Amino acid sequence: MLEEFQRIGRDLFLSGLVSSHGGNMSVRMGDRVLITHRGSPLGQITAEDIVETGLYDNDSSIMLASSETPVHRTIYQQTAGLAIVHAHPKVAVALSLFEDEIIPIDNEGSYLLHKVPVISSEIASGTAMAGIVAESLQKYKITMVRGHGCFAIGQVLEEAWQWVSCLEESAMVIYYARTLGGQTKEFRKNADQYKKW
């Protein structure tokens, strides 16, 4: 399990999806959660950077665990996810400042994500945010928090990481397309339906 945290953490950092000490990850182990240490550098995770805490019950490990542990707990309690990746994909974060939902226009993003909702919460780790993020993740595999970052769920960390990576790529395509200007040519049969996803 440590190797999986290290592998995904390193790639999140190297692909620019988190800053040196940004983002966090966790996996659910029944009624326990393994989560990255508060402020741990995801690109350089060691055994000391993984903290075990309760899914339902608090314990003193909360002193060490990521400040977003309550969000992770709520997500696990309200979805079928077994792994969570929280990252700060730059272009997607920028888009979230303009949009209420990010609808990929590229093939891969359309195929895998269809639509990514954007929700607003000023406090990164609050109970209120935990609730709305979890509610959104009941319907979508990845959700953006405006101006902050994304939360993605999966059966394993690698799957959640894929959604994050895919979102950022789709956000970059949107950015490039808008920068190029003009009307894009549609290639998807049901393009107008993606808003309803």
Considering only 25-33, 38-46, 91-99, 172-180, which stretch makes contact with another protein by CB under 8 A? 25-33
Q: Which is nearer to another protein, 11 or 159 (CB)?
A: 159
Shortest separation between residue 93's beta carbon and another protein, angstroms:
24
Binding of another protein at residue 28 (CB under 8 A)? Answer: yes
| Residues with Cβ within 8 Å of residue 186, at least 6 apart in sequence | none
Q: Which residue in the set 82, 90, 103, 125 belongs to the binding site for another protein (CB under 8 A)?
A: 82
Taking residue 173's Cβ as centre, other Cβ atoms within 10 Å add up to 18
Integer Cα distance of 24 and 39 in angstroms: 8
Report residue 32 CA to chain centroid gap: 20
- Write out the binding residues for another protein, residues 105-124 only, by CB under 8 A: 111, 114
Cβ-contact 160, 84 below 8 angstroms:
yes
The residue length of the chain stands at: 197
Site string for another protein, 134-153 (x = CB under 8 A): ----xxxx------------
**H/E segment holding residue 154:** strand 149-154
Asked if 31 interacts with another protein (CB under 8 A), we say: yes
Question: What's the angle, vertex CA 41, arms to CA 23 and CA 104, rounded to 5?
Answer: 30
Phi, psi at 8, each rounded to 5°: -70, -40
Structure tokens at 186: 């549609």
Which one of residues 44, 59, 80, 176 is an interface residue with another protein (CB under 8 A)? 80
Q: CB of 176: closest distance to another protein in angstroms? A: 24
189 is a site residue for another protein (CB under 8 A)? yes
Minimum distance from residue 190 beta carbon to another protein (Å)? 5
Q: Which residues bind another protein (CB under 8 A)?
A: 1, 27-31, 78-80, 82, 111, 114, 138-141, 154-156, 158-159, 162, 189-190, 193, 196-197
